[in-house]
Amino acid sequence: MSRQVLVVRGGALPRSSGLGRAHHDLVERLEEGQVKGFTSAGIIEHEVGGGAFTRWRRRRSEHPQRVAKAATTNAGSVLHITDQEQAHLVPPHCDLPVSVTIHDLFHLEPRRIQTSHGRVNIGQRSPGILRRQDLSHIRRGLGRADLLICISEATADEARELWPEKAIAVVPHGIDIGGYDPFSYPLPKPEGLDHSNVNLLCVGSEEPRKRIDFLVEVLGCLPSHLKGDVILHKVGAESSIKSKSKLSKRAKELGVNLRWVGRLSDIDLCGYYQHCDALLFPSVAEGFGLPPLEAMASGCPVRVADMPAHNEVAPEEWLLPHDSVDEWVDAIVEFASKEGRRQPSTIALKRAAEFSIERWSSALSAAWSNL
């Protein structure tokens, strides 16, 4: 007999956001019976938007009360909160076992990472008074949970230091590669992408930790005979007009071809993964690093900064020192030296298969079964 899982989050974030996607994937897989021994008991969430006071009241009063009430009427279920930012929703003295997925701990444990371009702040080091109170509620909520489910070993190690007596499980993201070569049925070539060029892809925002600025500097150091043939396609939500303008200006100064693509649907993003020569992922801090896994599932080679936790995702031979411009330049020169249309990488597909939905399901089922 299957146990039911009451899935809880705060605002109903769309699938296009990182946390929203993880939530929707979990819900769909529960509803499709992909987590052995567990089914969905429903979803508790609230709409997004409204004024500052409405949002505050909803987050700190109305929604926690709603979750606590639901926990008293779903005997035998598991209450699962899909991201750590909503851990304040863990009811005090809850009758149900409660698990929380931790995607990262950057905001609870901010840090600085030194790079050749200066220090990169990870998480907000000096939040305002309301945010400090919010973080305190989140921390206490995580302390009340029965199980913390971390999406990487690096995050789990941090969680063990903060909550040494807590049950902690590692359940990395799972991805469906379909059991077939994605280039057997290639998607149309995205508009603006020319196979006569070397097409490099980066996916993410312009947050400092993502280090799009580092990629611009790397491309600026390419040999002059290559620089004009290399295009960096930047996919993802734009953080601000100011950051975009600054990066565009620097790219122009260095003679770098930087193309802003913006946010894409899953299927359109897959088209870029299929048709670009490589994904570059120089981030210095991630909770997991989904773009490299998505790229590899489409047969796309990746080059990833050797930093936690996304260095758990890419093959070891595809990791690069996070601050070595020369080694990143050499990797791009290697891509540029290959003639003809890129074929799907067997290395990428094999690595992506290690993060199958079946393995994800098995790990999640084992974690919940121990509650």
Give burial (CB, 10 Å; 0-12/13-18/19+) of 179.
Answer: exposed
Complete domains list, the chain, with CATH: 3-174+356-369 (3.40.50.2000), 182-353 (3.40.50.2000)
pLDDT score of 21: 87
Confidence bin at 341 (pLDDT 50/70/90): low
**Alpha carbons 27 and 98: distance in angstroms, whole number:** 16
pLDDT score of 20: 87
**Alpha carbons 251 and 140: distance in angstroms, whole number:** 45
Q: Within a 13 Å sphere around the CA of 301, how many CA atoms are in the beta-carbon half?
A: 17
The encoded tokens of residue 271 equal 């088209």
**Alpha carbons 150 and 100: distance in angstroms, whole number:** 8
Range with lowest mean pLDDT among 244-253, 276-285, 294-303, 341-350 = 341-350
Confidence bin at 182 (pLDDT 50/70/90): low
Q: Where are the beta strands (DSSP E) in the chain?
A: 3-11, 38-46, 78-81, 98-102, 111-115, 118-122, 147-150, 167-170, 198-203, 230-235, 257-262, 278-281, 302-305, 319-320
Mean pLDDT, residues 99-109: 95
Mean pLDDT, residues 168-194: 78
**Alpha carbons 174 and 226: distance in angstroms, whole number:** 37
- pTM for the model stands at 0.91
**Alpha carbons 146 and 153: distance in angstroms, whole number:** 19
Kindly give the pairing relationship between strand 147-150 and strand 98-102: parallel
> Is the pLDDT assigned to residue 239 strictly greater than 80?
no
**Alpha carbons 169 and 99: distance in angstroms, whole number:** 10
Tell me the pLDDT of the chain averaged across its residues: 91
